[in-house]
Structure 1
Amino acid sequence: MSSPPGTATCSSCFSGENGGLHGDDDRSIADPRCVQCMRSDPPSCSSSSSSSLGFDPIPLKESEKLWRVITAWAKGFSIGAGLKGGLSLFSIIARLRRTRLSSSSRKVFSNSEAIALAIKETLRYGLFLGTFAGTFASVDEIIASLGGHHRTAKWRALLAGLIAGPSMLLTGSNTQHTSLALYILMRAAVLASRCGVKSKRFGKYCKVLTWSHGDIFLMCLSSSQILSAYILKQESLAPSYKSFLNKHGGKDPVILQGMKEIASGLPFTDLDLIEKYYNSTGVNIKLDPEMKIPCSIIHGNQSCSGHVMSFFIQAYKRALPVYLPVYLIPALIVHRQGLLKRPYSILGKGLLGTARSSLFLSTYCSSAWMWTCVLFRIFRRCNIPMVAMGTFPTGLALAIEKKSRRIEISLYCLARAIESFFTCMADVEYLPQAKNLKRADVLIFSISTAIIMHCYAQEREVFRSKYLNVLDWVFGVPPSPGETPRRKES
């Protein structure tokens, strides 16, 4: 886009940094709508040129600042409520389907109570993200007004992100979100490491972070802790995640109890219950109390290879409903405009991604049983180290996922693994002070969001484009690399 004759512009306009793309904009000609000329600090462009275009070098109006805060709150609320509501909707549909198919009349709570709880959780998460976005925008504008937009640009987003973090309390004052906080911390660490790699001072120390298969290694490491806890110490896992593992692990609790007892060297207490369970499925089996490996407990009369194949088919059916909302709901939010122009292309990619991610999850779950069986049979024993070693290579299934999703999944699982690990350490009193920390999740989340929002304001190139698009939509596009996010000028 060329500049009208006689229009002067500042240096950031010629560098292609004006606007919100920073690194994605190839323009080398000046943009006549120089945003820097509209700031409260001394303008870097000529006043006459700005006046000739109808833009005087004056601060943003109070109404514009208020509008930025309101739109940030509304967009944050829509994302939080949309994501949580979509997941709750699929959960309710699955529950209603199970209710129709189940002959049992025993229920923990009714369908109407489940729907009411889903609505409440949807509103809570909407308020959480809406308040976070609105608080960030408010603090950003207040500090800019009091301290000067350019003078506070280097640290304003850091402080605003820190102050906005306690909005997590809106999800419930007694609800701990340690896993979420740790995941956001992992995301902040990744962004900080990317900044370190490009830094002249710290770049040589951060080269190890550029290892292309580091995400798979992290997944293997996380799997060893998570899956071991799933078998040996489920109470160290968050209730929602424990429920997820119990569903996709595909094993009855009495089977897991039998594995736990043989791995821990304890005498069997529920062998008769395991036999009754298999009898209820049409499998007649008599378990040996003196067994050394738990293969007959895990898959009854099936061979190890036959069990893996049959388990994989069932696991794939369980995985499909999990990933449908993961792909389709973001498509409605991120690609809302393109969805009208090319619906078949976008929906086709969503369905392909669903099939691929379902393949990953089903392979991950079935390979967990495969690797443990292989290891048990090779060494002819089952103990806690064997369980940890057997679940480590399960993380290799992550290679099925596309590269852009691997780091997300591995960081999510790493956060769950860290939470489980420290819970186990606290339970055996290796970390006695950990139990005294109240709402450490809010503190971790606040520090993490401070780092993330600082990177968003100052180091935009360390973000992937899809996340940058969402942040830009909610908070506004930064007008230049040295300024914090503001709403795009209309």
Structure 2
Amino acid sequence: MESTAASHLLNSVVEVVARITSHALTDKEKESVVEGFRSFNKRLERIGSRNSLRQLAIESQKWRRRRQTPRCQHEDTSCVQNSIRGFIKAFLVGFGVKAGLSAASQLLSLRAFTRPRLLLSGFSRDTLGFAAFLSTLIGSYKAFLCAARHIRGSRSSEYTNALVAGMLAGLVSAKLDRNRSRRTAIALYLCTRAMQYGCIWLFERYVAQQQTEDDMIRRRLMQRAHSINTIIPVGPRRGRVTEAPPSPDCSAKTMPRPTRGIGALGGPGVEAAGGDSGGSSGGFAQWAIEFTRKYASSALMVVSNVGLIYPLVFHTESLSRGFANLLMVGSGYDSLNPRRELNGFKAIGCHVVGERAGRGIPAGMPTKAFFSQIPFAHKVADALDSTIHHDHVACGVLHPHTTSCTLGVAGTFLRGLPYAMRLHIPFNIAMLLLFQSQRLLKNPVGTLRSLVKSTVQSSVYFTLMIVGITNSTCLFRKAIGRDAVGNYILSGIVGGLAILVERPGRRGELSMYCFLRALEAAWDIGVKTGLWWNVRHGEVALFAASMGVLMSIFQNDPTTLSLTYHSTLTRIFGEN
């Protein structure tokens, strides 16, 4: 009796373990577990097992049959498992990366050696909130995508499924990050990416449609030419026809590209197909592709620089603080104003527009004495030499230690280049170790040579951009004899053209970063001037819409994305 009870108890335990295992493991893992249970079952046969292995095998076969006609593309996992695993993995990775970056910054600043507790600063509520935001975003996207596929059917549009899943995941996860400034920055970044790849996707569809229309026109012309040249009545008897040899001008290889529109098919003969067609079809599309590929990033950088220098001078509070610090340190302006306040640029703006517009520094009056009497500039007057006189306020701010604009340009370049080198050397080394470690091991000399070249190239670009944004205004000021708003727009264009010095592969990323900051400043200026108003939780809606567009493209047309960005999204969201 006791042996029977023990047999039933042991068999029940094994059955429970088998059921739990069948829900927790993937199909491949189930098969290995089945083999283990089979070997263990041989020992249980004498005490009357209740076929726990048979039930586990039946469930595994059910999953295998489901996988033969799947609605979802994830393999070896159920939809619930796929979502939960994505959530847990993203939480651990997000928390670890955020805490690791915080600890690394403390080590690089050398403060952690005097205060070791700073290494634990990354294990904070902010880090926990960021990890929860990232994990909820990824896990909920996987869950919503699977739900949309099951609800709408396996043959439903994946574009709509991914769009809806991305938007819902963005709405659910956005508020979990309590850092609003970071949340807004992420939303703006994704918005710029959605605009970029959305335009590329639409343009590719336009080109494909034009190509399809051209092919249809070409086939119709070939059919018409073939029918005219092959059915020719000859001989005295009526109705007798013979086939004439096909015209060499109407062969598939020599058929000219037809004119677009009705004119290509007009006329009773085949003259529309012969001769000059008036331009190759798809010429504009081809030209647009080449122009976009070569100059789109440069054009975007020019627009972005104009959008950055305008708030720097005329709406200083609207400019991103991080970008403002980058400009001040790179140009050496922080030596004039150690507290890094933009009072000097505010003073320039007051003398370009408003009551003081067009006024220069009176002749014979030292710049320091004049600065002490005008708004904002009096806060930087202490750093000036009391014997130097400048003709314009902008010259006194941009090159306070010399009256020569040429020497001011040289000084800005010489101060900015070492800073740019210090900025790019650790960044490029980190990128090399993270993404090109195999290349470094295979070809160390060539890789290091490429590293040095790219670092110098990027540093020169950064320095020229700052010189163009700031000191090139002196050139336009001398050309027209006074300060004007147009001077700063032109200087923004000059600074943007410095992107041509940078490697083509990096132009797009740099342009998108500057465009993001310009877009942020433009929105703030519009709110302050009353052109539009802030919408409560608007960054959440923007984040959700951007996520929907990006996920729809990533899920269905991944070739539209750049290789780097597609690789990044694949690492984050996985294959869905």
| TM over 0.5, shorter chain | yes
How far apart, CA to CA, are the structure 1 residues paired with 2:432 and 2:85? 21
**2:462 pairs with 1:361:** yes
2:322 corresponding residue in structure 1: 240
**2:397 pairs with 1:297:** yes
CA deviation after TM superposition for structure 1 residue 383, in Å? 2.8
1:213 corresponding residue in structure 2: 295
How far apart, CA to CA, are the structure 2 residues paired with 1:170 and 1:297? 43
* 3-state SS of 2:482 partner: coil
How far apart, CA to CA, are the structure 1 residues paired with 2:93 and 2:453? 23
CA deviation after TM superposition for structure 1 residue 422, in Å? 2.7
Q: Which runs of structure 2 are paired with 1:31-46 in the superposition (5 Å)?
A: none
Q: Which runs of structure 2 are paired with 1:150-229 in the superposition (5 Å)?
A: 150-151=155-156, 153-166=158-171, 167-172=173-178, 174-175=180-181, 177-199=183-205, 200-201=208-209, 208=288, 210-211=291-292, 212-229=294-311
**2:429 pairs with 1:415:** no
* 3-state SS of 1:263 partner: coil
* 3-state SS of 2:170 partner: helix
CA deviation after TM superposition for structure 1 residue 191, in Å? 1.5
Q: In 2 relative to 1, CA 144–172 (structure 1 residues): closer, same or farther, beyond 3 Å?
A: same
Whether contact under 8 Å (1:223, 1:417) holds in the other structure is yes
**2:553 pairs with 1:459:** no
Q: In 2 relative to 1, CA 113–175 (structure 1 residues): closer, same or farther, beyond 3 Å?
A: farther
The two structures have a TM-score, normalised by structure 1, of 0.70
How far apart, CA to CA, are the structure 2 residues paired with 1:75 and 1:333? 20
Which of 1 and 2 has higher RCO (CA within 8 Å, sep 6+)? 1
CA deviation after TM superposition for structure 1 residue 63, in Å? 4.5
Whether contact under 8 Å (1:184, 1:445) holds in the other structure is yes
Q: 1:441 aligns with which of 512, 535, 539?
A: 539
CA deviation after TM superposition for structure 1 residue 459, in Å? 0.9
Whether contact under 8 Å (2:469, 2:495) holds in the other structure is yes
Q: In 2 relative to 1, CA 272–334 (structure 1 residues): closer, same or farther, beyond 3 Å?
A: closer
Aligned residues: 407
Q: 2:409 aligns with which of 296, 308, 311?
A: 308
Q: In 2 relative to 1, CA 76–353 (structure 1 residues): closer, same or farther, beyond 3 Å?
A: farther
Whether contact under 8 Å (1:162, 1:450) holds in the other structure is yes
Whether contact under 8 Å (2:461, 2:499) holds in the other structure is yes
Whether contact under 8 Å (1:258, 1:270) holds in the other structure is yes
Q: In 2 relative to 1, CA 266–127 (structure 1 residues): closer, same or farther, beyond 3 Å?
A: farther
CA deviation after TM superposition for structure 1 residue 443, in Å? 1.1
* 3-state SS of 2:375 partner: coil
Q: What letter matches 2:303 in structure 1?
A: L
Q: What letter matches 1:391 in structure 2?
A: G
Q: What letter matches 2:541 in structure 1?
A: L
**2:340 pairs with 1:263:** no
Q: What letter matches 1:69 in structure 2?
A: S
Q: Cα deviations across residues 204-262 of structure 1 (Å, max 9, x unaligned)? A: 79774753212111111111121221222221123433443443343233432332332
Whether contact under 8 Å (2:302, 2:496) holds in the other structure is yes
Q: In 2 relative to 1, CA 156–175 (structure 1 residues): closer, same or farther, beyond 3 Å?
A: same
Q: CA RMSD in A?
A: 3.8
Q: In 2 relative to 1, CA 173–467 (structure 1 residues): closer, same or farther, beyond 3 Å?
A: closer
2:86 corresponding residue in structure 1: 72
Whether contact under 8 Å (1:180, 1:415) holds in the other structure is no
Q: In 2 relative to 1, CA 357–70 (structure 1 residues): closer, same or farther, beyond 3 Å?
A: farther
How far apart, CA to CA, are the structure 2 residues paired with 1:475 and 1:354? 31
The two structures have a TM-score, normalised by structure 2, of 0.61
Q: What letter matches 2:166 in structure 1?
A: G
Q: In 2 relative to 1, CA 349–147 (structure 1 residues): closer, same or farther, beyond 3 Å?
A: farther
Q: What letter matches 1:318 in structure 2?
A: Y
Q: Which has the larger radius of gyration?
A: 2
2:218 corresponding residue in structure 1: none
Q: Cα deviations across residues 269-318 of structure 1 (Å, max 9, x unaligned)? A: 3555433113xxxx454446xx4452133212422222222222322332
Q: What letter matches 2:199 in structure 1?
A: S
1:18 corresponding residue in structure 2: none
Q: What letter matches 1:455 in structure 2?
A: I
Q: Which runs of structure 2 are paired with 1:54-203 in the superposition (5 Å)?
A: 57=68, 59=70, 63-73=77-87, 76-77=90-91, 80=94, 88=102, 92=106, 116=121, 121-151=126-156, 153-166=158-171, 167-172=173-178, 174-175=180-181, 177-199=183-205, 200-201=208-209
Q: What letter matches 1:257 in structure 2?
A: K
How far apart, CA to CA, are the structure 2 residues paired with 1:134 and 1:343? 40
How far apart, CA to CA, are the structure 1 residues paired with 2:145 and 2:430? 30
1:377 corresponding residue in structure 2: 478
Q: In 2 relative to 1, CA 455–63 (structure 1 residues): closer, same or farther, beyond 3 Å?
A: closer
How far apart, CA to CA, are the structure 2 residues paired with 1:293 and 1:68? 62
**2:285 pairs with 1:274:** no
1:29 corresponding residue in structure 2: none
Whether contact under 8 Å (1:334, 1:470) holds in the other structure is no
Whether contact under 8 Å (2:347, 2:393) holds in the other structure is no
Whether contact under 8 Å (1:74, 1:130) holds in the other structure is yes
Whether contact under 8 Å (1:193, 1:206) holds in the other structure is no
